[in-house]
Structure 1
Amino acid sequence: MIYTVTLNPSIDYIVEVSDFNLGSLNRMTRDLKLPGGKGINVSRVLKQLGYDSTALGFLGGFTGEFIQEWLSDEEINTNFTSIKGDTRINVKLKSDQETEINASGPIITNSEANDFLTVIEQLTSKDVVILSGNQPASLPDDFYQKIILKIKALGAEFVMDTTGQTLLDSLAFHPLLVKPNHHELAEMFHVTFSSVEEMIPYGKKLIEMGASYALVSMAGDGALFFTRDNVYQSTVPKGKVKNSVGAGDSMVAGFVGTLLKENDSQLAFKTGVATGSATAFSDDLAKKSEIENLISQVTISSINN
């Protein structure tokens, strides 16, 4: 079973304003409310691809009920830990430019945190856990490490889709996959990149430090894929970008689902790129038909250096 973990989910309230003017009355042309959070996005895209998963994390209040009902309607398995606080609402303003206003999230008590860790203890060695996104400030700094230690003790595998020191610290526990974008990769190693070639040594470092696979997304420039033996680069399909939210999560879903089913890392990479692109070209997350239409447009080449 694939499990996804979203420690700080949200309702994403998407508001479209044709010509936004700061300090003035603006009237929206369209609005949309969607369940948000990186792990939740992964579960929703996995479902589109035909793969079952169970979404884990913290939910509370009327906002948490909205997310739970939405996922139930999409027939996605859930086992969320209930909290007293309200799950947050993030505002995504789409106008001439895209602006995001993200809430910090609810306070999670020690008792609620321990309840979540009890859920993790139910894993088996056949499971893969996808850990996505940042954690609420009220959780201990080492909470992700506590989760990872329990996952490894049970013989399960994990994917790490976070940033910064949290991602670097996870490498010692040998994640199946890590997925920074090129900006996050630069920040982790305190460098800047002016070319794809400059990224390659640092992507390789992720493998040397413990990851089995590493994906580095580069927006319109495609993606890099690192294995223990090789480095690959992809093209990206052509299309109009409508949505920057969830594209990276969709890439993770496409990669992990395909890898576990087909045991073919290059096919998984290709599917991941197509899935991320399909979300970028959509108002919401990618649909199966959209993904299938784009896979043939993705080409993979080996980089020898």
Structure 2
Amino acid sequence: MIYTVTLNPSIDYIVEVEDFRLGGLNRMNRDLKLPGGKGINVSRVLNQLEIGNIATGFLGGFTGRYIKDWLAEEGISSDFVTVNGDTRINIKLKSGEETEINGAGPEISDTEAIALIHKLEALQKGDIVVLSGSIPPSLGKNFYDRLIAVCKQREAEFVIDTTGKPLQQALVHGPLLVKPNHHELAELFGVTINTREEIITYGRKLLEAGARHVLVSMAGDGALFITEQAVYYANAPSGQVKNSVGAGDSMIAGFVGTLSATGDVQEAFRAGVASGSATAFSDDLAARPFIEQLRSVIQVTQL
């Protein structure tokens, strides 16, 4: 079974305004409310791929109920810890450029944090846990370490999709996959990356630090997949980018879901790129027919 963990979910409130004027009255052309949070995005795309999964993390208040009801409507199993505060709302204002206003999220108590740890104690050998996104300040910077410790105790695999120190701390524990984009990879090592060869060099450093697979997205330039045995490149399919939210999460879903179903890393890489691209070209997250359409035009080449 695949589990996704979202520590700070949200309702993503997407608002389109033709000519936004700060300080004036603005009227929406269109708005959309979607369940947000990196792990929740992974669950929704896994569901499109018909890969069984359970979404967990923290939800609270009327906003949390909205997310839980949405997932249930889509047929996604969930097992969230209910918290006292309201799950946050993130505003995505589209008016020419996109402006984001992200909520802080609720305070998570020690009791609520321990309740999530207890839920993961039901993991079994071979399960995969996807840990995605930022850690709420109330949980402390090392909370992912506590969740990873449970995964290791239960002999479950884990995927980590975060940045900075939490990612660096997780590498020593041998994550199944890490997925920085090329900007995040450069930031992680405090360097400037200008070439594909430099991406491969620093991607291999993540392997040396403990990661088992490294997937680096390069937007319109495609993606690189780096293992101990080989380096693969996949082209980016052509299309109009509509959605900057969730493409990386969709890539993880496509990769992890296909790897768990087939064991084929190259096919998992192809599915990951197809899923990420399908989301980038859609208003919401990728739907299966579009993923399959793009999968057929993606070429994976060993470098």
TM-score by length of 2: 0.99
2: CA distance between counterparts of 1:237 and 1:95? Answer: 26
Match of 2:240 in 1: 240
Superposition map of 1:172-183 within 5 A: 172-183=172-183
- Correspondence for 2:63: 63
State whether residues 132 and 162 of structure 2, in contact with CA within 8 Å, keep that contact through their aligned partners in structure 1.
yes
What secondary structure sits across from 2:171 in the alignment?
A: helix
The C-alpha deviation readout for 1:15-49, integer Å capped at 9, x for no partner, is 01112222222111000000000000000000000
**What letter corresponds to residue 184 of structure 1 in structure 2?**
E
The Cα RMSD (Å) is 0.8
Q: Distance in 1 between matches of 2:171 and 2:160?
A: 9
Gap runs ≥5 in structure 1: none
Note if contact 2:4-2:54 (Cα within 8 Å) is conserved in structure 1: yes
5 Å-filtered alignment, 1:82-97, equals: 82-97=82-97
**How far 1:126 moved relative to its partner?**
2.6
2:12 aligned residue: 12
Instruction: Return the alpha-carbon distance in structure 1 between the equivalents of residues 300 and 71 of structure 2.
Output: 34
Report the secondary structure of 1:260's partner residue.
helix
Matching residue of 1:255: 255
Displacement of 1:276 after TM fit? 0.2
Deviations 1:218-239 (A, max 9, x none): 1111111011111111101111
Question: CA shift at 1:196, angstroms?
Answer: 1.6
- Per the normalisation by structure 1, the TM-score is 0.98
Number of residue-to-residue matches in the alignment: 303
Task: Tell me the secondary structure at the aligned position of residue 138 of structure 1.
Answer: helix
1:134 is paired with a residue whose SS is coil
Distance in 2 of aligned mates of 1:197 and 1:99: 33
Match of 2:213 in 1: 213
Query: For the Cα contact (< 8 Å) 1:232–1:301, is it kept in 2?
Result: yes
Structure 1 residue 3: Cα displacement = 0.1
Question: Percent identity, aligned pairs only?
Answer: 61
User: Hey, what's the Cα distance between the residues in 2 that align with 1:216 and 1:21?
Assistant: 37
Structure 2: distance between partners of 1:21 and 1:265: 48
Q: Which residue identity is paired with 1:34?
A: L
Aligned equivalents of 1:210, 1:139: Cα separation in 2: 25
List, as ranges, runs of 4+ consecutive aligned residues in structure 1 with deviation greater than 6 Å: none
Structure 2: how far apart are the matches of 1:189 and 1:63?
37
Matched residue, 1:126? 126
Instruction: Letter of the 1:264 partner, please give it.
Output: D
Question: Corresponding residue for 1:222?
Answer: 222
Look up the SS of the partner of 2:225 in the other structure.
strand
| Aligned counterparts of 2:39 and 2:141: Cα–Cα separation in 1 | 19
List runs of 5+ in structure 2 lacking aligned partners. Answer: none
Cα distance in 2 for partners of 1:144, 1:45 equals 23
Do the aligned residues in 1 keep the contact of 2:141 with 2:166 (CA within 8 Å)?
no
Where 1:111 maps in the other structure, the secondary structure is helix
- SS of 1:34's partner is strand
